[in-house]
Amino acid sequence: MANLFRLPVLLPFLLLATAAVVVTGDELRTFIVHVQPRENQEFETAEYRTAWYKTFLPEDGRLLHAYHHVASGFAARLSQRELDVVSAMPGFVSAVPDQRYRLLTTHTPQFLGLNVQQGVRNYTSDRGAGVIVALLDTGIFPDHPSFSGDGMPPPPAKWKGRCDFNGSSCNNKLIGARDFITDAAASAANSNDSRAPPVDNVGHGTHTASTAAGAIVPGAQVLGQAMGVAAGMAPRAHIAMYKVCDEVGCAGSDILAGIDAAVGDGCDIISMSLGGPSMPFHQDPIAIGTLGAIEKGVFVSMAGGNSGPDAGSLSNEAPWMLTVAASTMDRSIRATVRLGNGLYFRGQSLYQPENLGSVFYPLVYAGASGKPSAALCANGSLDGLDVRGKIVLCDLGYGGGWISKGAVVQSAGGVGMILVNQFLEGYDTMAAAHVLPASHVDYAAGSAIKSYINSTTNATAQIVFPGTKLGTSPAPSIVFFSSRGPNAQDPGILKPDVTGPGMNVLAAWPFQVGPPSATPVPGPTFNIISGTSMSTPHLSGIAAFIKSNHPDWSPAAIKSAIMTTADIDDRSGNPLLDEQRSPASFFATGAGHVNPEKATNPGLVYDIDPSDYVGYLCGMYTSQEVSVVARRPVNCSTIPAIPSSQLNYPSISVSVPSNTTQPVVVRRTVKNVGEVPSSYYAAVDMPETVVGVSVYPSRLDFTEANQENVFLVLVWPKQNGTRVVQAAFRWVSETHTVRSPISVTFT
């Protein structure tokens, strides 16, 4: 559970915490119940289907959600005894208890190579035109200029959704807004009123929505920092908000209802900055609902989780989703620590007060008292220690959020705080809205500052605030919290898929929510927060403008375009690094860092027909389990199972027995979406000599648009040993490079 605590206020990835469930026979609990109609039973309208669902229930009032598009079933309040009765009824397939979920840009367009003219309101880009992006989140603050309908065309005719805000809050930018929170345990204001407007009392949903498809807003800043033009990745796309989470958390049954509605309403992209522990797909309402969405042509972008850097810490691992990691950008909001001995260290703080002056203050490490809680500046831990008028060094970690550590120091009379990374956070620092002069420094700087404190009886320091700096390096680099592979549900699919900006991201914020310590600055409110919650809507918006350019591409083709064109080097031309400044593995980066311009024109794509996922699932699960995910009766003995390595994925993950020299053979199909005619040559990148990789044939010729070619990738061990090896192959033409990572695990 450590990751729950490792994510203080600034990392609002919505973490699914499995609630402890007390089962007594008569207590009502929420279940997601999967049912299947008889073979010839069809429902002309949603009302008829809902009426059929109700026949399973002891009384109408128990139904919470009826699913129509992406699940065959419903959510209802039932006692265990009643569930036993339901389970015996014809048509019943399975039931899972609902899970209680817990709450766990100005610069990014330019950083990603997208041309945003600074200071220009009338922005002529049509990135995302005609595309509807659904966000399943904490609601939205509709009156923010990031959701202005100025200059936006009406939504496409296929839009069938609705807006539950009153008055003119919705417009051609924010076209839909609904609240799906039904559970009585959720906030009182929203319980039992599905028509309540989806007001954002958290900030998370407003932030993610504006990152994906917010309008162009000049003069964006937070506490005077990171000044610039805020713009979503797809500023022409339409936004539909489906509120499924609030400050208490989110329920799986509500999330599934949100997916169901987004698909039914005609959305093109679903963006979900939430997740939970890894679980088998047939028990995971998000995996089930998103497969339904993909079958209807809806692209799904999901956060990989904030449980890094531990291996195997990913969420949302199904192959039909885009699983997004988080990385830094080249912006730092600097707060420099100067020591009495002349050394200085660069940290970050969003709160940039007038300089403390040239005065050096006494510097103390409360942890030197031997009290572990004091090292962390936990609430109450500084009582009885003399920190008045001093700068206090605090370790990150348990003991409250980062901003509250500052409040503890301040209330104990401290004048400043140096927040120090533990080893695992490495070189990553956050620009937080601290309540007092502060600097968040990396682990190495923290160790040096501690040594200095140890070396003298008279340690002194000052913190100076140089403000926002661009062009910092290394950037991008993988952030410590970004969850890592391998994929626990299926090691045969390499996850995460791709990384995007998720550290210190500026985007819209409801003025009534914060930011915490600010003296309000006139104008719209923005905030800077971090998480895979922030990288995910970047990818959703990028998917929206790819979809806008290529309306006929499938979700798998869009995902392939994003993955095969991703950057594997940082802005200095070095391999992508992680939080320790070590080269990041594929289990951290996936295919690499998104390159939006290249992704719109990839040359070749690896497409997947949604029906292939059923064969894929048959390779993993029983027919009954596959039927739940596929929402229809599936007999796996009658369809060919597709081993995961043979799914037409844009990356490859294979296990190779180390005691043989037999190659593992992986088959792939690429479709030409580029120039005609064109020829591609295979190139293999194999930094290690422990495996052999070859591609056959080594040349592919395309004479028609959308022509497909099949090829084989052979992987064989060259020497013994149990380990993971990372390689890649590329299809290279005169104009394109189509790259696929290969992860090889020796068994």
Ligand X SMILES: *[C@@H]1O[C@H](CO)[C@@H](O)[C@H](O)[C@H]1NC(C)=O
Residues serving a catalytic function are 137, 204, 533
Of 450, 538, 593, 668, the residue at the interface with ligand X (CB under 6 A) is: 450
CA distance 542 to 440: 31
Q: Does 61 bind ligand X (CB under 6 A)?
A: yes
Our CB check for ligand X shows the closer of 660 and 698 to be 660
Does residue 192 interact with ligand X by CB under 6 A?
yes
Nearer to ligand X, 262 or 408 (CB): 408
408-427 binders of ligand X (CB under 6 A): 408
| Least spacing, CB of residue 130 vs ligand X, in Å | 18
Q: Which stretch binds ligand X (CB under 6 A): 255-263, 273-281, 552-560, 654-662?
A: 654-662
Instruction: Decide: is 451 part of the binding site for ligand X (CB under 6 A).
Output: yes
Contacts to ligand X from residues 220-259, by CB under 6 A: none
- Binders of ligand X among 324-343, rule CB under 6 A? 340
Closer to ligand X by CB, 167 or 471: give it. Answer: 167
Q: Is 407 in the site for ligand X (CB under 6 A)?
A: yes
**Residue window 154-183: x/- pattern of binding to ligand X, with contact defined by CB under 6 A:** ------------xx----------------
Stretch that binds ligand X, among 218-226, 443-451, 547-555, 669-677 (CB under 6 A): 443-451
- Sequence-ordered list of residues with C-beta below 8 angstroms from that of 225, at least 6 positions apart, any chain: 333, 350, 352, 431, 467, 468, 528
Question: How far is it, in rounded angstroms, from Cα 125 to Cα 134?
Answer: 21
Residue bearing tokens 């509120």: 243
358 binds ligand X (CB under 6 A): no
Q: Could you tell me which stretch among 126-134, 454-462, 557-565, 731-739 binds ligand X (CB under 6 A)? A: 454-462
- Cα–Cα distance measured from residue 323 to residue 301, given in angstroms and rounded to the nearest whole number: 6
Q: Which stretch binds ligand X (CB under 6 A): 36-44, 310-318, 400-408, 738-746?
A: 400-408
Cβ count near 172 (within 10 Å): 14
Q: For ligand X, which is the closer residue by CB, 24 or 458?
A: 458
Q: Which of 476, 471, 507 is nearest to 594 (CA)?
A: 476
Interaction mask 117-146, ligand X, x per CB under 6 A: -----x-x----------------------
| Dist CA 52 CA 45 (whole Å) | 11
- Which region among 51-59, 253-261, 424-432, 444-452 touches ligand X (by CB under 6 A)? 444-452
Torsion angles phi and psi, residue 532, rounded to 5: -65, -15
Name the residue nearer to ligand X (CB basis): 22 or 188.
188
> Are the C-beta atoms of 328 and 503 separated by less than 8 Å?
yes
Which of 97, 139, 197, 426 is the binder for ligand X (CB under 6 A)? 197
Kindly determine how many residues on this chain lie close enough to bind ligand X according to the rule CB under 6 A: 32
CB of 174 to ligand X, least distance (A): 15
635 binds ligand X (CB under 6 A): yes
| Residues in 705-734 that interact with ligand X by CB under 6 A | 717, 719-720
Q: Is 360 in the site for ligand X (CB under 6 A)?
A: yes
Looking at residue 174, what DSSP letter applies? E
Q: Which residues pair with 363 in a beta bridge?
A: 391
Give the pair of three-digit tokens for residue 479. Answer: 């952030």
Q: Identify the bridge partners of residue 66 per DSSP, sorted by sequence position.
A: 74
Task: Output the smallest distance, CB 64 to ligand X, in A.
Answer: 8
Residue at 315: amino acid letter: S
Q: Answer yes or no: are the C-beta atoms of 582 and 527 closer than 8 Å.
A: no
Decide: is 638 part of the binding site for ligand X (CB under 6 A): yes
- What is the SS3 assignment for 321-379? CEEEEEECCCEEEEEEEEECCCCEEEEECCCCCCCCCCCCEEEEEHHHHCCHHHHCCCC
The yes or no reply on residue 512 touching ligand X (CB under 6 A) is: no
Q: Cα–Cα distance between 391 and 384 in angstroms, integer?
A: 16
Q: Residue 293 and residue 295: Cα distance in Å, rounded?
A: 5
CB of 401 to ligand X, least distance (A): 8
Three-state SS for 54?
A: helix
Q: Which two tokens stand for residue 111?
A: 């950083």
Cα dihedral across residues 19, 23, 26, 32: positive or negative: positive
**430 and 347 in contact (C-beta within 8 Å)?**
no
Least Cα distance to 600 among 561, 629, 641, 646 occurs for: 561
Q: Which one of residues 94, 172, 373, 379 is an interface residue with ligand X (CB under 6 A)?
A: 379
- CB 636 within 8 Å of CB 678: no
Interaction of residue 454 with ligand X, rule CB under 6 A: yes
CB of residue 517 to ligand X, shortest distance in Å: 12
DSSP per position, 382-418: TTTS--TTSEEEEESSSSS-HHHHHHHHHHTT-SEEE
Among 458, 519, 689, 722, binds ligand X (CB under 6 A): 458
- Would you count residue 660 as binding ligand X (CB under 6 A)? yes
Which residues does 195 contact at the CB level (< 8 Å), separation at least 6? Answer: 164, 179
- 93 phi and psi angles, rounded to 5 deg: -115, -55
Residues 6+ apart with CB under 8 A from 532: 13, 273, 303, 304, 305, 306, 324, 325, 326, 481, 482, 483, 502
Residues 555-614 that bind ligand X (CB under 6 A): none
Q: Is 404 in the site for ligand X (CB under 6 A)?
A: yes
| Least distance CB 169 / ligand X (angstroms) | 8
Question: What's the rounded Cα separation, in Å, for the pair 506 and 515?
Answer: 12
Binding mask 521-560 for ligand X (x = CB under 6 A): ----------------------------------------
* Residue (182 or 210) nearer to ligand X, CB: 182
Whichever of 150 and 597 has its CB closer to ligand X, that residue is 150
Shortest approach of ligand X to residue 182 CB, angstroms?
7
| Contacts with ligand X, residue ranges (CB under 6 A) | 61, 122, 124, 151, 166-167, 184, 192, 197, 340, 360, 379, 400, 404, 407-408, 447, 450-451, 454, 458, 460, 635, 637-638, 657, 659-661, 717, 719-720
